[in-house]
Structures are given as structure tokens and as C-alpha cells.
Structure 1
Amino acid sequence: MKKSYLLGLIALGYCLFSSKNASAQSQSLFNGKDLKGWHADVPEMDKNKEARLPFVVRDGMLVSLGTPGGHLITDASYQNFRLELEYRFAGKPGNCGALVFVSTPRALYEMFPKSIEVQMMHTNAGDFWCIQEDIEVPDMEKRRGPREKWGVNGDKLRRIPNLTDGSEKPVGEWNKMTIECLGNTIKVWVNDDFVNYGYNATAATGQIALQAEGSEVEFRKVLLTPIKKLSK
């Protein structure tokens, strides 16, 4: 079965399910004026009092300046939600990410919080990266590599590539990423293309984080919508 056909079936079934369960009470996690509701974790700022905060508000947008490396983390934790992001690389394209199920700070390399990252790196948007948490996907060995090398830390195979090519807009244009977390499953869309699906994650709740990881990225939308699970 072709990947596109399989993804189409998964997306159709899940969209039908989500449409029945989504709450209308959406909330913007960014107020357009300041970083209220978030806190930054930037290791460089611990030792260098001259280091800048790599997250700012500019022209009504939340901006990750890229350096020094770190994370902007919500004060609150969330479970069963849809997260909608609109973002673009402000200059040279590079790396960034949206993290879900965030918990212990600096759990990997004394930098990355325990979480599952949904990659926003240019040309790789929608990949999963396992950061001291794990997740399964269809065709696991084909996509992640030899089973004996899987892992969530160190030199283990932590990346699970997305299933599409060409879903991102040209550099400078706005991209839309939708991440749906329901129980311990994660679904990802990039510009309305269904690009990844994971299940049996080792976490189902946590904070949300945005990265500073080398490249300047502008966010004009960070919208969260709770998803209410149907009772049996």
C-alpha cells in the first residue's frame, strides 16, 4: 500500500473523529504583546549575564532569535489538544521545533527538556524527535532504522522522519503546522498535508515549548484548542 494512500485513510478517520470531539474553546497562547504565560530556559544565561534572551515580541509576533540555544515553555501543562502554529523563517532557513509533553528541563545534553519534538527544521517539518520520551509509528524499522539502535538519548536513533516531501512553503512564506495530541497519540499536518502519526507515546500530558536552535523564526499564531474525548 502506498504511503500516501495509508496516510489518507488515517487522516480521514482521524479528522472525522476529531470533528466530533473538538471543543470550541480555543485559546491563543500568545497575546501579541508580551511573553505572559511562558518562561524561558536558556542554559547560556546561567553563566553569561550578558547573554540575550532569545525570545522576543516584535511587530505583534513571537520571535525565536535562534541564539543562544534554549526553550520557551508554557507555564501550564496540557492534555488532549490541537495546537495550531503559523511560522516562517525570517532570514536564512534552519532549525527550530515545537515540543509537546514537556516535563523535566535539560534532560538531554543539559539543553533539551524531556518531551517529544515535532520538527520545524527547513525541509524536515513534521519529523518526530524523541527526547527522553518515546513514540511508535507505522513502518517503524523502515523509518527509524535498526531496532537495536533505537533510543531516546545519547547516540541512539531518536529521529523518526515524516512521510511527505514538499509540504513546506518557500522560505519567507508562512507555514501552518497543526499538532493534535489525544491520549498518547500525536498527529501532525503541515500546510494541510497529513505528514506524521505516532502512537503509544510514553507521555500523554505536559507543557508545550518552542525552540531557539540556530535560526530566527517568527510565529504569528500559537492557538490551542482542547479536545474532549467521548465517553464510552
Structure 2
Amino acid sequence: MNKILLLFIFLLGSLPFTISFQNPTLSPENLAEKAKSKSLFNGKDLTGWHVDVPKMDNDPTARNPFITRNGLLVSLGTPGGHLITNDSYKNYRLEIEYRFADKPGNCGALVHVSTPRALYEMFPQSIEVQMMHENAGDFWCIQEDIVVPDMEKRRGPKEKWGVNGDKLRRIPNLTDGSEKPLGEWNAMTIECVGKEVKVWVNNELVNHGFDATVQQGQIALQAEGAEVEFRKVLLTPISKLKD
């Protein structure tokens, strides 16, 4: 009886190791990374962010299009502008849960943000990951560039590529139908590692770029015409480059 009990205790004690070995999500490296995750939105106010809305420069009556409401971060859509993190980041996974609060429209999450108002005196230098309804996961190049497979097929004639003005700055995503029906929450994951940017929408890989001209910077959310609610903006550092 004592031998059976000792064998049971031994097996029970080894169980966590066995699960950890078989399930990558419980590996020591992933557990360490998860422990460093931090929400960029505290659920109460815009601590850690600053607003860049050109119309607010000289119009004291202009409203701030970024507010908190019922524990959510909300982009009211107008006037146009950006909510930008105070800190810069490199090698990370950004998880965002969002939905259009009223009518479908346009919005975006910008990574590797640097110079404000670098394009059209509005958009900061960055790589935008589109959230526009039915286009979630497109890349838009804003004074920075990124490469994807089948570039000419997806972006258009090479001689028209560019990162400003009337150049072809949009790189469409790879899928259709990845977004949830209007009113439901979408989950977008953006993984920035080295010169690569990968995007998932509702757990489906929708874009993968490489050879980006930038590898770090601030993160921004847009006010671009439509009201959008955010209930999750979670950043997890990635400690090393992946193969």
C-alpha cells in the first residue's frame, strides 16, 4: 500500500512538468513573456497616452475624439487624429479587441510610430494595420515601407509604389471574411519582431510583412471617421527573435 501511495505522489509531482513540456503555451519562456504582459489601457483614463489632433491646435471648442466610457477606450471618429503611447516598443505582441459602436467605417492601429503628422499634416510616420470594416489587416505605408510576397499582384505596379503622396501605399490583406458581424468584438493580434510584422484577425493570419524599414516606435490608434470601442489593448514583450 505504501509503495502504491509513493508511486501516486511521484506521478502527481511530475505532472506539471509533463504538461509544460507538451504544451508550448506553458513553456518557461512563454510563461516569462506572459508575466511581462501589460495592458496599455487601464480601464479608467488615458494614462500612458497622448492625443495628437490637428484641429485641437487652434480651436478651443474642438472635442477630444478619444474618451473612456463604461470601462472602454473609445475613438469617436471625429475630429481626425491619433492617440499615441508615450513609450516606444520593440519586439512585442499587441492584442486588441475592438468593434464599431454604431456604423461601420474606418480606423487603424499604427506600429513603429515616430514623427507626428509626417503625411498630409495628419498621419504619423509608421506602418498602419488597417481596421477599416471588411479590410482589417491591410498594411498602409506611412513614410515607412514593408515587403510582402507577391508584391506587384497585391500592391500594384512597382513604379507606383511609395510611402507618401499619391503613391501606392496600401498592401491588401490575404483573406476575406475574417471579421465578425457588425456589433461583435473582433480580436486583432499584431506581432512585431525585428523587421517582420504579422497580423491575425480572429485567430486567422491575414498579413505577413518583412524587411520593414523600421523596427521600433510608439503605438497609435486612430480617429478616422467612425466610432470604435476598444476593450483590450494588451502588449506582451517578445524576448528574442523567432525563427
Using the size of structure 1 for normalisation, the TM-score is: 0.90
| 1:175 equivalent in structure 2 | 186
What does 1:110-129 correspond to in 2, within 5 Å?
Answer: 110-129=121-140
The structure-2 alpha-carbon separation of the partners of 1:47 and 1:227, relative to structure 1 and needing over 3 Å to count, comes to same
Unpaired runs of 5+ residues, structure 1, are: 1-15
Aligned equivalents of 1:151 and 1:72: distance in 2?
A: 25
| 1:76 equivalent in structure 2 | 87
| 2:74 equivalent in structure 1 | 63
Aligned equivalents of 1:213 and 1:20: distance in 2?
A: 41
* Contact 2:125–2:144, Cα closer than 8 Å, also in 1: yes
1:102 Cα deviation after fit: 0.1
Unpaired runs of 5+ residues, structure 2, are: 1-23
Identity %: 77
Aligned equivalents of 2:146 and 2:104: distance in 1?
A: 27
SS in 1 for 2:56: helix
SS in 1 for 2:208: strand
CA displacement, residues 174-232 of structure 1 (integer Å, 9 cap, x when unaligned): 00000000001000000001000000000000000000000000000000000011699
Q: Which has the higher helix share?
A: 2
Q: Is it true that 1:161 corresponds to 2:166 in the alignment?
A: no
| 2:11 equivalent in structure 1 | none
Aligned equivalents of 1:160 and 1:69: distance in 2?
A: 22
CA displacement, residues 118-145 of structure 1 (integer Å, 9 cap, x when unaligned): 0000000000000000000000110000
Aligned equivalents of 1:176 and 1:207: distance in 2?
A: 21
| 1:41 equivalent in structure 2 | 52
Q: Is it true that 1:188 corresponds to 2:199 in the alignment?
A: yes
Which of 1 and 2 has greater Rg? 2
Q: 1:50 aligns with which of 51, 54, 61?
A: 61
Q: Runs (4+) of structure 1 moved beyond 6 Å?
A: none
| 2:117 equivalent in structure 1 | 106
| 2:234 equivalent in structure 1 | 223
Aligned equivalents of 1:155 and 1:20: distance in 2?
A: 48
Whichever residue aligns with residue 69 of structure 1, its letter is G
* Contact 1:127–1:162, Cα closer than 8 Å, also in 2: yes
Aligned equivalents of 1:212 and 1:50: distance in 2?
A: 17
